[in-house]
Structure 1
Amino acid sequence: MSWKPLPKGEFTGIDWSAPGAIDGMDPYLAWAEADGFMGYHVHGREPEKLKWLPIVIGLHEGVDVRQLVNATATRWLRVPLAYLLVPGLRHCSARVSREFFRHWRQDPALRALIERFELGLPVEQLPLGLTEFCTPHCRPQPPRQRVRGPVLGVIDGGLAIANAAFLDHRGRTRVRHFWRQDNFYGGRWPGSPDNRRVPLDPRRAGPRPPDLGYGHELDRETIDRVRAEYARDGQVDEDAVYRYFQLWDLARPVNHGTHVTGLATAPGGPLDPGLNDAASRSAIVAVQLDWANVLDTSGGAMNVSVLDGLLYIVSRCAADADIVVNVSWGTLAGPHDGSSLLEAAMDELVDKLGGRLRITLPGGNGYQSRTHANAALAPGESQALHWRVQPDDHTQSFLEIWLPDGAEGLSLSVAPPDRPDQAVTLTQGQSGMWANAQGLPIWSLIYPSSTALGRGTCALLVLECTASHDPEHPLAPCGVWTVTLRNRGRTPVVFDAYVERDDVALGVNTGARQSYLEDAHYDTQGNLNGWVDQPGNPTAIRRSGVFNSLSTGQHTISVGGTRATDSGAQELARFARYSPQRPDPGPARAQRPGVKITPETLAACDSNTALWGVRGVGSLSGSTVRLAGTSSSAPKEARRLLNGLG
């Protein structure tokens, strides 16, 4: 192996090793080009065949999406029409071609409009082109049949739209609009059936929503008609309904989106016969994430998909509708101060709608996962982090190290397991990668002086998978990677290190294995007081600060998890062990400005100490399932908000 500079991007044309090239940019884009988009499952490693990349764009203050569209050409930048339905937005998703990056490099007028952009979806899993998009001076019209009154918006995976829990008193579905973001079923992810992509039939899956330009949409009339066609003696064959709509995964007994939606809006049924509140009568507008989002728990697809989903929900609601959107999803890495592009876009949308939109999100489930380290380094001081990367991990692993604005003089040294001769030390503005004999990257360290990912800067350490069924796939060594931070400056520097989420989502098999940090001082004994950070413990690994990185915005509502029944007098007995707590029980430590570590509110997601999770709606009518996690806390807060509107 050899240490090499990052290559010139085949798609963007950016020479990532040139001085200043990585500054202010998305380091994940630089890495994706370095490894030929292998982590995004581009078929046959042929990025030259890509025509469009999905991104999220943040515009400068005083610039809106209309100005961006009017100043660009659709042959190299395409924005979904929905982003013009809310006047004055500074954030949008887009599909961009190679020519966009040429203009970005050469045209100061374009850079005067765009403040930052970030790579979005796994590029093989979703359609990259849009069938319809904004053109200069176009005037898109709002969709017909917009929903009035209190509305529950849901962005999730696997919503059982034929379930009787989502019917009104007349037997009609309360799902007024349903958008599935995929154009096909299956793909190249491990565990997909035969790794084949099955195109969806728009006559069954529904037409493409013209204001978003991809996916398939169903309305209430269509759902009710198909439910009636497959009804016999008053009973609906729900499996047949899902086969007709090509929603085969909804035949599984458990689906995350169904459970979440049930907690937010299902009537009581056998679990609570007396429950008949306003939330159980509210209309539903639902977005089913492409399964690539569900499979890729690192959240690499979240920004475009969730932002598009929010615009879909808003566009399907009347101007006077009160909307509560629940997004029970999240990641672990990120700035954690509300400055990520998606969080800034959500905050802007809440602000633009003048309080008619509220967004609930889970606080996160990683409190005991050892994925966060935090410390303040005095001049001359160093801190070693030991990152345990597991064997047989078929997905890439990511570690982000975040520094506040103005931090200088911090060097990063990375040593692979048992390979001290391959240790690399970089300072701000530097990057590179270890490559194998074929020139393919095995791991990379990208350390810009500023980043598109959020406030301050983010150094990204990324590793290829440690196992693969492809004999030609480059593999990173498993074991303990040592990352040493050394303050060579004259002032103290506060850092946060976050290991990105890399677990396996419910009901799928991706070959992912979660990496984590190790330290002999970190308490793993399981004693009662060992579930929170203790004063005097010198470890840099912190439970405090392990937080869903989608939930740290200024105007969104994060929800932590408690137990329905306390198990003791101690305050700790109140909380689900995997949830961030309120107030934070950890000792005071230096924090980067604006970092969020406590949720706005709390709701039960465990029954008690021994019985984790809460009961909710299963995929088939009348069935119930138990799922644990703050994903169950967030829809309970959404329900409380809906009841306040009714």
Structure 2
Amino acid sequence: MINISLGTYGGPHDGTSLVEQGIDGLVMEQTNRAVVIAAGNAFDDRIHASGTITEGSFTDLHWEVFEGDTTNNEVEIWYSGEDEFRIELLNRDHQSIFNIGVGEKADSPGFFAAHTKGSNGDHQAMIFSGSGLAGVWIVRIHGVKAAHGTFHAWIERDDNRNLHKFNQSRFQSPVDNTCTLGSICCGQKSIVVGSYNGKDPSLPISYFSSAGPTRDGRQKPEISAPGHFIIAACSRTINEPKIDSGTSMAAPVVTGVIALMLAEAVKYDLKLSIDEIRRLLFSTTKRNPPAEQGWNNQYGNGRVNAVAA
């Protein structure tokens, strides 16, 4: 059992990154193996936007960088390899800073951008900003060819804290809270965990818990667990506890449940494939909440049920 409680926001979000392919390969290589990943805490961070562009039209993303942000920032835009877009950056006065097509780069004061084809065959545009560039920047996406026309954009995670104030840059508009899973959460065989508040009798999903689906429409996260106000050992001390919230606190709960499942499997000389582990875990989840039948884009297939699993 491996628990991964970390993550970033960029990437293709379709399971094709090398890390995700590596995780899939490891858990499929042998039985009695599983990797659990925290879904991310980006639901209310305004880091994702999506839309559809027709040929000859454009759409604007308003990217806000806060005063006092002393770090670099990045926006990534992903769209089908069958489409062709141009990516333009404008300042608040609607003056163009650069306008690049596929295969082109731009290096202007305060910004660097590249527009390439990713290893998955889709197009990827990256815009990097230097520090101290507070304001609202307009990322304009032009449709040159639009067989599909759909795009997704993410702002990369920024954990900088200045005077204890969180300065993550964000989209002012448009904002789409779906598809806010972490960069390595979209593999085929990993088990991705959302967080709910187990301290509240109504067991609501945590306000921060990232939502699916993946960019290619698959159902992740798969399951949820308590991740709100969790008391755990503080690793940098000898004997102090820590109270924290996040999907990074929820994922270890599921990791522990699967570890107990595998201990039972070894006891009875059973060899569970990753598909069997996933089926046992997801078929025993608790519902209500979530109230609706089937998969929920934050709860997943439901809340983990340790005893039943």
Cα shift at 1:455 = 4.7
SS in 2 for 1:541: coil
| AA matched with 1:333 | G
Higher strand fraction (1 or 2): 2
Query: CA contact under 8 A between 1:396 and 1:464: conserved in structure 2?
Result: yes
Which of 301, 314, 330 matches 2:7?
330
Which aligned pairs between 1:434-583 and structure 2 lie closer than 5 A? Answer: 434-435=108-109, 442-448=110-116, 450-452=117-119, 454-466=120-132, 477-489=133-145, 491-504=147-160, 513-519=167-173, 540-566=174-200, 568=202, 574-581=204-211
How far apart, CA to CA, are the structure 1 residues paired with 2:2 and 2:167? Answer: 30
Q: Which residue of 2 aligns with 1:345?
A: 22
Aligned position for 1:111: none
Look up the match of 1:380.
Answer: 56
Could you tell me which amino acid in structure 2 is paired with residue 424 of structure 1? F
1:286-435 → structure 2 map (5 Å cutoff): 324-352=1-29, 354-408=30-84, 410-418=85-93, 420-435=94-109
- Residue pair 2:82, 2:146 contacting (<8 A) in 1 also: no
Q: Which runs of 5+ in 2 are unaligned?
A: 264-309
The count of residues paired between Structure 1 and Structure 2 equals 262
Deviation for aligned residue 1:356: 3.3
| Mapped partners of 1:325, 1:504: distance in 2 | 28
Please state how far the C-alpha of 1:413 moved relative to its aligned partner: 1.3
Cα contact 1:411–1:427 (8 A) shared by 2: yes
3-state SS of paired residue (1:634): helix
Aligned residue number for residue 16 of structure 1? none
Relative to 1, partners in 2 of residues 1:403 and 1:485: Cα closer, same or farther, differing over 3 Å?
Answer: same
Taking a change above 3 Å as real, the CA distance of residues 596 and 372 of structure 1, as seen in their structure-2 partners, is farther
Taking the aligned partners of 2:122 and 2:34, their CA distance within structure 1 comes to 28
**1:490, 1:638 → 2: CA distance?**
43
Matched AA of 2:172: E
Specify whether residues 562 and 513 from structure 1 end up closer, same or farther in structure 2 by C-alpha distance, changes over 3 A only: same
Tell me the distance in 2 between the aligned counterparts of 1:500 and 1:356. 34
Identify which of structures 1 and 2 has the higher relative contact order when contacts are C-alpha pairs closer than 8 Å and 6+ apart: 2
Displacement of 1:623 after TM fit? Answer: 2.9
* 8 A contact 1:382–1:485 mirrored in 2: yes
What SS is found at the alignment partner of 2:246?
Answer: coil
Work out whether residues 395 and 512 of structure 1, in 8 Å CA contact, stay in contact via their aligned partners in 2.
no
Task: After TM superposition, give the deviation of residue 484 of structure 1 in Å.
Answer: 0.9
CA spacing shift, 1:384–1:422, aligned 2, 3 Å: closer
Measure, in 1, the Cα distance between the counterparts of 2:21 and 2:164.
30
CA contact (8 A) 1:399 1:499 kept: yes
* TM-score, normalised with respect to structure 2: 0.77
Within 2, Cα distance between the matches of 1:461 and 1:595?
25
Match of 1:321 in 2: none
Conserved? CA contact 1:417–1:478, under 8 Å: no
Q: Residue 575 of structure 1 contacts residue 581 of structure 1 at CA under 8 Å; is this kept in 2?
A: no
Letter in 2 for 1:553: G
The structure with more helix, counted as a fraction of residues:
1
1:233-292 CA distance string (max 9 Å, x none): xxxxxxxxxxxxxxxxxxxxxxxxxxxxxxxxxxxxxxxxxxxxxxxxxxxxxxxxxxxx
In structure 1, what residue type is equivalent to 2:90? A
Is the Cα contact below 8 Å between 2:101 and 2:115 reproduced in 1? Answer: yes
Cα distance, 1:343–1:510 mapped onto 2, change above 3 Å: farther
Matching residue's letter, 2:25: E
Q: Render the CA deviation track for 1:375-426: whole Å, top value 9, x for unaligned.
A: 1222333211000012222221110000123122x121111344x4443222
Corresponding position: 1:623 with 2:240: yes
Q: Unaligned regions of 5+ residues in structure 1, if any?
A: 1-323, 436-441, 467-476, 520-539, 585-590, 607-612
SS in 2 for 1:638: helix
Opposite residue 346 of structure 1, the aligned amino acid is: I
Residues 509 and 369 (structure 1 numbering): CA distance in 2 closer, same or farther, change over 3 Å? same
1:595 Cα offset (Å): 4.4
Note closer, same or farther for the CA distance 1:399–1:597 as it changes in structure 2 (3 Å cut).
farther
Per the alignment, in what secondary structure is the counterpart of residue 255 of structure 2? helix
Q: Which amino acid aligns with 1:415?
A: L
Amino acid at match of 1:484: R
- Give the Cα separation in 1 of the matches to 2:122 and 2:257: 36
Corresponding residue SS for 2:114: strand
Q: Is the 8 A contact 1:330 1:548 kept in 2?
A: yes
Determine if the alignment matches structure 1 residue 642 to structure 2 residue 276: no
- State the match for 1:633 in structure 2: 250
Distance (whole Å) between structure 2 residues aligned to residue 581 and residue 516 of structure 1:
17
Question: Aligned equivalents of 1:489 and 1:645: distance in 2?
Answer: 50
Segment of structure 1 superposing worse, 556-565 or 594-603: 594-603
1:369–1:378 distance in 2 versus 1, CA, 3 Å:
same
> Offset at 1:618?
2.7
Alpha-carbon distance between aligned partners in 2 of 1:581 and 1:514, rounded to the nearest angstrom:
18
Instruction: Report the secondary structure of 2:21's partner residue.
Output: helix
Q: 2:92, 2:219 → 1: CA distance?
A: 32
Q: Distance in 1 between matches of 2:164 and 2:231?
A: 26
Is residue 558–residue 599 contact of structure 1 (8 Å, CA) maintained in 2? yes
Structure number with greater Rg is: 1
- Give how far 1:487 is off: 1.4
TM-score with structure 1 setting the length: 0.38
What is the rounded CA distance, in whole Å, between the counterparts of 1:614 and 1:560 in structure 2? Answer: 14
Write the deviation string for residues 83-118 of structure 1: whole angstroms up to 9, x where unpaired: xxxxxxxxxxxxxxxxxxxxxxxxxxxxxxxxxxxx
**Alpha-carbon shift at residue 581 of structure 1 (Å):** 4.8
